């Protein structure tokens, strides 16, 4: 499987690794163990001891996180993957006693991993999810395993025309006649949907947009960055008012391949802490509300599509192209070009 490796992708939510804990997680077909070192910095090691290949994640952290001790014969490795302790013989450390490590950076409430050439891993390239910074935002997060290739999730989020058919709760006549624009700046693709004069808005959306009655102008803007890192802004304002006066909810939809046929889905929704003590309750409630359609509507169809495609790539199956496909096709082509460049 050809993955894009020289890119930051989400490995976990920051609160998934607490001091003293080891988290086993497979990404891009590689078993990893994630933990926090003695300084609290997140670390990612290949989850296999170089002695007899035991999973390090079955071991334990020692010296307050300074090293992971292998469960089998007790070699210890620090966050760089260097062996720092050999309890056997004269204690000399064999030159080959080293574990591969990957850059792992905590930013915007998430842990971002770089699984390619570590020399190229510039933290300035981490996609901007400032709306998930716990300092200013109340954030609700979720994680889901999807048994489908991660590329199908790019298509799913960038082409929200499926709302009409898959998500009856969010559908309306205005959603059907949405005006859709695809924009492309550098390595970033945008899909912007505008749904003007929506008169069938469900109550919970009315509440969210604080427009108790009358028509609403709504929009859904999705930003894609490679490999499958997406942000979504869902806004609404009383019909005819300027969008700047509207209320916008901000969501992350980040997908990291576990393997060619399985994907980890990290999603979030955030509200400004300025809203007061209710913000966190609202974020938790909203992320729970989102989980149902993600799990019961998106996941089954994306997995079924994956089974029907049976390992073939999108373009080799010569898909019929519809009006709403521009952004997903653009993103797919940029992703493929980046992968080709990396493997050239
Ligand atoms: S397998 Fe790790 S020390 Fe032996
Ligand atoms: Fe969906």
Residue 337 has a pLDDT of: 97
Ligand nearest to the CA of 157: 2
As a whole number of angstroms, the distance between CA 217 and CA 211 comes to 10
The rounded Å distance from CA 63 to ligand 2 centre is: 45
Cβ–ligand 1 distance for 52 under 6 Å, the answer yes
Ligand nearest to the CA of 162: 2
Distance of CA 45 to the CA centre of its chain: 20
Ligand nearest to the CA of 230: 2
The rounded Å distance from CA 46 to ligand 1 centre is: 14
> Which residue's C-alpha comes closest to atom 4 of ligand 1?
73
List, for the chain, all residue ranges whose pLDDT scores fall below the cut of 70.
none
Domain boundaries defined on the chain: 8-126, 131-343
Cβ–ligand 1 distance for 49 under 6 Å, the answer yes
The minimum-distance atom of ligand 1 relative to the CA of 74 is 3
The minimum-distance atom of ligand 1 relative to the CA of 53 is 1
Cβ–ligand 1 distance for 54 under 6 Å, the answer yes
The rounded Å distance from CA 187 to ligand 1 centre is: 43
Q: What is the CA radius of gyration of the chain?
A: 22
**∠ at Cα 201 (198, 204), nearest 5°?**
150
Residue 204 has a pLDDT of: 79
Whether omega for the bond prior to residue 227 falls within 30 degrees of 0, making it cis, is yes
Residue 40 has a pLDDT of: 96
Residue 335 has a pLDDT of: 98
Cβ–ligand 1 distance for 4 under 6 Å, the answer no
As a whole number of angstroms, the distance between CA 91 and CA 276 comes to 57
Cβ–ligand 1 distance for 88 under 6 Å, the answer no
Ligand nearest to the CA of 68: 1
In degrees rounded to 5, what are phi and psi of residue 236?
A: -160, 150
CATH tag, 8-126? 2.102.10.10
pTM here? 0.96
The rounded Å distance from CA 73 to ligand 1 centre is: 4
Work out the number of other CB atoms within 10 angstroms of the CB of residue 1.
Answer: 9
The minimum-distance atom of ligand 1 relative to the CA of 54 is 1
Q: Please classify residue 178 by burial: count the beta carbons closer than 10 Å to its beta carbon, then call 0-12 exposed, 13-18 middle and 19+ buried.
A: buried
The minimum-distance atom of ligand 1 relative to the CA of 56 is 2
Residue 277 has a pLDDT of: 86
Question: Tens digits of per-residue pLDDT, 18-40?
Answer: 999 999 999 999 999 999 999 99
Residue 278 has a pLDDT of: 86
Q: Which of 33, 45, 48, 54 to mutate to test ligand 1, by most ligand atoms within 8 A of the CB atom?
A: 54
Residue 69 has a pLDDT of: 98
As a whole number of angstroms, the distance between CA 111 and CA 17 comes to 9
Cβ–ligand 1 distance for 58 under 6 Å, the answer no
Distance of CA 234 to the CA centre of its chain: 18
> Which residue's C-alpha comes closest to atom 1 of ligand 1?
52
CATH topology of domain 131-343: Naphthalene 1,2-dioxygenase Alpha Subunit; Chain A, domain 1 (3.90.380)
Residue 272 has a pLDDT of: 86
The minimum-distance atom of ligand 1 relative to the CA of 73 is 3
């Amino acid at each position: 499987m050809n993955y894009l490796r020289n890119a930051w992708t989400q490995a976990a939510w920051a609160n998934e690794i607490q001091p003293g804990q080891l988290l086993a997680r497979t990404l891009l077909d590689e078993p990893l163990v994630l933990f926090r070192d003695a300084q609290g910095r997140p670390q990612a090691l290949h989850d296999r001891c170089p002695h007899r290949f035991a999973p390090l994640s079955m071991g334990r952290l020692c010296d307050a996180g300074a090293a992971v001790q292998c469960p089998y014969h007790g070699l210890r490795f620090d966050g760089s993957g260097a062996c720092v302790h050999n309890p056997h013989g004269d204690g000399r450390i064999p030159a080959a006693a080293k574990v591969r490590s990957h850059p792992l950076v905590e930013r915007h409430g998430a842990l971002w991993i770089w699984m390619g050439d570590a020399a190229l891993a510039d933290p300035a390239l981490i996609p901007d999810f400032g709306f998930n910074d716990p300092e200013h935002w109340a954030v609700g997060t979720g994680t889901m395993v999807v048994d489908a290739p991660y590329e199908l999730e790019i298509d799913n989020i960038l082409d929200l025309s499926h709302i009409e058919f898959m998500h009856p709760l969010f559908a309306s006549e205005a959603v059907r006649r949405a005006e859709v624009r695809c924009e492309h700046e550098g390595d970033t693709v945008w899909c912007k949907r505008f749904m003007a004069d929506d008169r069938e808005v469900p109550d919970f959306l009315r509440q969210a947009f604080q427009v108790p009655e009358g028509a609403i102008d709504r929009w859904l803007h999705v930003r894609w960055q490679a490999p499958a890192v997406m942000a979504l802004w869902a806004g609404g304002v009383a019909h005819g008012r300027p969008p700047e006066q509207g209320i916008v909810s901000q969501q992350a939809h980040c997908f990291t391949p576990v393997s060619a046929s399985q994907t980890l889905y990290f999603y979030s929704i955030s509200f400004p802490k300025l809203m007061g003590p209710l913000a966190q309750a609202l974020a938790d409630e909203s992320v729970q509300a989102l989980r149902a359609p993600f799990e019961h509507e998106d996941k089954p169809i994306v997995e079924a599509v994956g089974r029907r495609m049976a390992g073939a790539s999108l373009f080799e199956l010569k898909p019929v192209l519809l009006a709403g496909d521009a952004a997903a096709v653009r993103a797919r082509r940029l992703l493929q070009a980046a992968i080709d460049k990396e493997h050239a």
